[in-house]
Amino acid sequence: MSAVSAVMVYGLSACDTVKRARQWLDAQGVQYHFVDFKKTPPSAAQIAAWAEAAGWDTLLNKRGTTWRKLDAATQASVVDAASAVAVLAQYPSAIKRPVVEGGKVLLVGFDAPQWSAALLGQAPRQVSA
């Protein structure tokens, strides 16, 4: 049973990380609603809220294809939260995926132990060497 109700998952349906994250959610029995950025891009206000909560540098996926394909001037223009939000609103595929909202939880990117703690209320397991 999920510790967090009303989970929203944002991303791209074709993204491998989003696919893995959704499979994990299904395996854990977490009910969620998926929003595809291509069909329903997030608003600038929503991106700004994510950037404030998680940090704009966390939200911006500089390792992704979308970012790497942007011209150098656009990349160089991203120096703070406001400039990052402007670029991410124009290029939502440059947002690190998935973004998960649920209650007071905001997760950016897929990390199973972190998700277990945040969404299921389970502490990450400590592995001793």
Show which residues are catalytic: 15
Angle of CA points 74, 76, 78, to nearest 5°: 80
Q: Which amino acid is it at 103?
A: G
- In sequence order, which ranges of 1-129 are alpha helices (DSSP H)? 16-28, 44-54, 56-59, 65-69, 72-77, 81-90, 112-120
